[in-house]
Amino acid sequence: MSARTAWETLISAVVAFAVSLIVFGPILGLLNSGWAGSDMLSTYVNAEAWSGFSYAPTTHFGFPLGMNLNYFPGIDITENVFAQIVTNITGQPFVGVNLLVIISFPLVAALMYLVIRMTGLRGPLAIALAVTASLIPFHWGRALGHTYLATLYSAAIGLALVLLIGSGQFERLRNLGTKRQKIIFNSVISLMVITIAWTGVYFVAFTLLLGLAALIWRFAHRARLKELVVDAVPFIGVGVMAVIGFIPALLTLRADPPLLSLGERLPYESVTFAGNVAVALLPLPQSSLPLMGAYNNKIVEAISAAPWGEGTAITNHGTWITTLALAVMLVGIVMRTRRSPLTTNPNRAKATGAPVTLAFITYLTVVVLLFFIPWGLNYLFAGTVSAQIRGWNRLTPILLWLFLLGAAVVLQRTRIARRMVYALPITVVVLALTAIDSVLPFRAAYAGSAAEVGGITQAARDYATAVNTAIPDTCGILQLPYMGYPEFGPVRGIHDYDHFWTSLLNPNKSWSYGAVKNTDASVWASQLPEIPNPEQVEQLREGGFCAIHFDTRGFISEQLPPLEQYLTEHFGAPIATGYEAQWQLYAIANPILTTGDGIQTGVPVSLPTFFNQPMITADPITVAPRGTHLDFSWWWTINPIATFTITPTTTKVPVTTVTGAIRSPECGTRPVTVKLQSAGQEQVATLIAKDKKNTEFTLTLPTPSTTPVTLVVEAPGEGCSVAGFGGQQFAQVIDLAAS
């Protein structure tokens, strides 16, 4: 790298950082605070649970069986390592992730300058385009949501690798220089490979797909087989290192597989999560320039007329600079086509000083578009390779960068780029337009989110102090209402992942939220009623719980009085409150917290089998969704014959006994037969179900089963139509439990 290139790379980073301060400047004082909830809050927790190369299972979240994030195959290794290092240095859970977001902007600008240099362009225009590439709306918008996806540095490195190999520069550079220079070159390529492979699965997939396209391009341009094999090595390395990054997840899934799928994806989702070309082509409709109000309104109204999709999110728009770059690229294609000789010169690219040609950039743009659009190659990929890669709109930054690269190839041969009298004014205009129309629109959004979430962060810190003052000892806290993890969705006023606010900022207690859904660690909590009954509370005490955290935002105002009355009658008044009294803590007496030799601990030596209870799954065709009120729960059967599957969560606790109660619908008493079936065993009981009165049953298998068993509920005759139910009711199954 020449001294000029190094200086211009540094200048690109400094300028991008300076411009980004338009957004970050007002919130730098909140670096030690959450900047957004929901997905970003989950990212803070991911960084907190990281342990070098994988996630460390922890009982701080998902108490008492713990949270194990290794269930989710993910390779956000470089981001988590950075955040963990900063967290270990500062002792604060937010600084690492927030700092990563800030650093990503100058880092991407520096990397994109180096990518743009591969086109032959240098100087002020190259710097301006690199800064623009870093400050696209996708980068800003995703940072407060899918934070690691927004960092983009692995995407820039992946694109650089594709351009190096597709242009033939990789083959040329690896054979140049001294032995020491070759070692340095190979080390840089290795670092690129590792960074791509360990910085998010999406950009790994995109790099490999574009890498395949680059190899096809090389083959079409008569590269020898030996050269193609060498060119393929870095991409093979990306794939191998990605697989290595997946090893902790693969081992976890093999050693203790989930009881149900953790995230089923359908090929059709590649259509619903595909990109929108019109959105990517149109500049962000939040311009503050004069006379742009009409444009903003028209674009927003036009896109809002269609159903919302991730591809039409406002952060997937391009900018005025990327749109102008596309125009320059198209003009360049037309002009070069008109001027091209009938016979091509294989050394043309080398002769003009542009190792990356406009033809290659155009080819990559077409390939990206084929994967970007709905019903494109993305659907074929999802149907034949993997449906787990579904968010093809996430190709947006690469598509916009290709527009900028196309413009760079065109401009690098012109006087506009070579003469400062033209280049400097254009650079100033590009940077000013970027600052005004690509950065300034996000200033208010970031400031508003950081201020609001900063208030929640402080409330959580104050609540932690109140909780630890009321209960100094280490113990578990049950968080209500129940919310599964991850991707459970909001519950009234509680956003997804909001239960993490109280646990992330109080390491002196262990918290129930965070056990991965559909695993043995989460089943017991998912099967609790709205509020645990006295028998369940006793089991909680034996399991190390000392209190219930009750978030009132999860209930409508009409629901709250009876719930709070029940809690007060059974556990007394709240011993701590927070977040404007919306968080309430109820003591459930002193838990059992000592080991056999009297040492205090957060988890008892032996947990009650209550925490390993079998999972009960109702057949959605014959049973309505579960209902719960106060300390009891129920299902309504909606078919004369309804079934429940009861699955042991561990072989140590087989299914032996199933208990529950039966009621009839409002239209009258009826006979109901319950059957417990397992591998040739069957226990049967015929009951008389009455309206609003429990008829209890207990079914015990002669031989306990370590495999799933089936409970059949037969209620012959006509169903009962009840206003507001939306179907016929045959029998009500109450407080169903298995042990």
Q: Which segments of the chain have a pLDDT < 50?
A: 342-344, 346, 348-353, 594-601
Query: Strands 476-480, 510-511: parallel, antiparallel or unpaired by DSSP?
Result: parallel
| DSSP bridge pairs for 477 | 511, 547
Q: CA 207, CA 364: separation in Å to the nearest integer?
A: 12
Q: CA 37, CA 59: separation in Å to the nearest integer?
A: 22
Which pLDDT score is estimated for 306?
Answer: 82
Tens-digit pLDDT profile for residues 113-163: 999 999 999 999 999 999 999 999 999 999 998 898 899 999 999 999 999
Q: What phi and psi, each to the nearest 5 degrees, are found at residue 4?
A: -65, -45
Six-digit token pair at 60?
């701080």
Which pLDDT score is estimated for 605?
Answer: 63
Q: CA 514, CA 599: separation in Å to the nearest integer?
A: 26
- Give, to the nearest 10 degrees, the angle between helix 153-166 and helix 201-220: 10
Are 173 and 225 in contact by the 8 Å Cβ rule? The answer is no
150 CB-side CA count, 13 A: 25
Residues shown for the chain: 739
Q: CA 101, CA 95: separation in Å to the nearest integer?
A: 10
Six-digit token pair at 696?
């209890």
Cis peptide leading into 481, omega within 30 of 0?
yes
Q: CA 475, CA 545: separation in Å to the nearest integer?
A: 6
How far apart, in Å, do the first and last CA atoms of the chain sit?
68
Which pLDDT score is estimated for 350?
Answer: 45
Query: Which domains, from first to last, does the chain contain?
Result: 469-606 (no CATH), 613-738 (2.60.120)
Which pLDDT score is estimated for 22?
Answer: 97
Six-digit token pair at 161?
């690798």
Tens-digit pLDDT profile for residues 387-401: 888 889 999 999 999
Give SS3 for 714: strand
Are 54 and 84 in contact by the 8 Å Cβ rule? The answer is no
Q: CA 206, CA 388: separation in Å to the nearest integer?
A: 13
Are 578 and 549 in contact by the 8 Å Cβ rule? The answer is no
Which pLDDT score is estimated for 418?
Answer: 84
Residue 696, phi-psi category: left (phi > 0), alpha (psi -120 to 50), beta (remainder): beta
CA distances to 117, 166, 448, 641 from 401, rounded to whole Å, are: 13, 16, 29, 59
Are 427 and 127 in contact by the 8 Å Cβ rule? The answer is yes
